[in-house]
Structure 1
Amino acid sequence: MPSHDGHPVTFHVGTPKSGTTSLQNILAGNRALLRSHGFLYPGENQGHFIEAMSLREGGFRGHEFESAEGAWDRTVAEVLAHDGPTLLSHEILGGSKRRIVQRAADSLPGRRLRVVITCRDLGRQFPAVWQEGVKNGDTVTYADFLAESFDGWDGPGASAGMWRGQNLASVADRWGSVVGHDNVVIVTVPPSGADKDVLWRRFVEAVGLPDVDYEIPDVPRNPSLGTVETELLRRVVARLPEDLAWPTYSRQVKRRLAQKRLVKEKTGGSLSVPPAHHDDVRRVSAEMLEAIRGHGCPVVGDLADLEPAFDPAGTSPDEVTDAQLLERSLDVLVPLVLTEGPAPKRQPVTRRIAEQGARKTGQKITDRLKRMRP
């Protein structure tokens, strides 16, 4: 049998909200094309969420996934059987503790391990991370989220709260301590207004994907909500039962309400970092970038892309009025009222006949009793 030792295995580990879903969508859509050129993108799903759950030996939002049982081991077997390079991708991997990173490395003996971290400036990340948290069931206000995040920043080693997955310096250091910092590649998301394919091209270069014609979807996979819509969703979530199971929440709230109905409009503008926190964002970004430069990780793109950018027309939930929330609620409610539900089930003919006969018999008895009355 041929030896597969030395083939690279690349972990794309986030950061969350840095275009990861769109990249995974492209990868999944071109899985067969990649395989035909000797490059393995394992499994059948868009990204490797279940595999990551299995590796981390944990659940998500209090839910344990039965399909995660043994999923990592099955993926490892697929990777080790492949005679060529492999890519594994899910943003939840970025926040993994060092022992999980070490477990991932130990399970792939003989392979050259590489890590790719896509990242975006914190001026755009703060709104996106809070909004994604609300989609996933968080009820903390935007103001409290910002305050807690800045209070939790204690330098480039910060890993509490949002910083577990969003502190680029800490993520790079945890993975780099296992695979070597020179094997951790930073891919920067270009500024707003850049060509939509720039990030993909940078990702292809960083991972070393084949130079072929990929099919690129036109529609983004995880579009953002407007400020009013996000605040409305947060208030809806706050009224839901605390014991609502994640599969039900994901299906009914995250996908049906947020990603199918609320995403259609952005009333009240787009969420942004309030001016009062601009200096805080710049301070944290400067400390993070200084640490990254110290790690010496290769960069595809430009670290200048990570200088904070703020939307001058952006809005905050503090500016949202009850009237706006009511109006948007009605916009969502009316189509739901007009949506026809499933047709009532027709009773079997034999059952209808039996019920009709019982009613006729009952009526006859009633008539007889009436005639017997004095």
Structure 2
Amino acid sequence: MDRDDETSSTPPAPAAPARASRSRQLRLAALLLLLVVVVAATVRVVVATGPPTWDELRERAGLTNRDRLIIGVKDDQPGVAQKLENGAFEGFDIDIAYMIAEDLGFDAPEVTLLSIESEDRARRQARDADGSFVTVDLVVASYSITEQRRDQGVTFSFPYLETEQSVLTLASDPRQVASLRDLERAKVCTLGTSTSEQRLREAGANPIGRNRISQCIQALYDGEVDAVTTDAAILAGFVGPRPPGELPPATKLLRPKELRHWDIGAESAEKWGVNTGPVPEMRDLVNLSLQQSAKGPDGDRWKAAFDRYLASEQQYSNPQQVAVGRQPEPEETVEVRQWPWERWALPSPGRPRSGVPSAARAPSRRNRRSSGC
């Protein structure tokens, strides 16, 4: 047999393995295509029906293209919110304001704090350096959450502090104050728009309203009123001595006298909230910040602010509790959309933290207590 005959008689190689390989490749490609379709459909459903992302909340709240956040705060409440002679603010509310601002995407140099009066908190109107009224983005100003205020259109965040009503008198006053009834016929000063005024009337006292708590304290020093009442966390800052060498407050009180802080057995709690304005997404962003400070990995921020300012006042106010030493539980849960890799890679609430530069805050004040004078 010659070579040509031998070659022509060789049987062809089997084609079955090649066809099987191609079939497996086609099935794998089809499976991958199906997975892509399922994932794409799932993403569309989640995006369409799931909660918004943090960035979407910021956009809807009008913060995306903003380079400044304006917050209204009190300026005459030692330990809570006080303006110093150098123009800086300090206090528990101030630390909470910076904490929320940071979580909204604003570092301390991008935050403007403006003094706000009690009667202007509902309207979010504060005065700037020129004396003109400015609508602030948020109000963090010892603002008690009440149904009446909600009915009047105020939008509150979750509560961030729980305290109660209490009373201050001169330490030289012989009267014993165990309840508001013990102030019957007495002249008692309080903030004109506070929750305390109606309770005084019901107790038979003679309420005298003032726009600022520092005005009430001055009236008490001068003997124009017999007592002052409002939230314990506000009054506590006027009771203890102010350590020497600290920056003086911008609001100076004259002829200070020793004061006594009375526990009047108030049953109702005063819970402070942030007036976030009418935009729901701004409220959700603030609530998300408070939710994270209560239950997230940055919960030490609230505790640090409390210990720094309010817990240090307690020794001068016993037996009256200055405030509850834990953050109030959020009333509900704010959900934001995050993919698993975002939760793993980024800190809550889903954005990189740059921190609040300490130089941009008020000077450190540990183990302090201020009489506000």
What's the TM-score bracket when you normalise by the shorter of the two chains? Answer: under 0.3
Kindly name which structure, 1 or 2, has the bigger radius of gyration based on alpha carbons. 2
Higher relative contact order (CA 8 A, sep 6+): 2
**What's the TM-score, normalizing by structure 1?**
0.27
Judging by fraction of residues, say which structure has more strand: 2
**What's the TM-score, normalizing by structure 2?**
0.27
Judging by fraction of residues, say which structure has more helix: 1
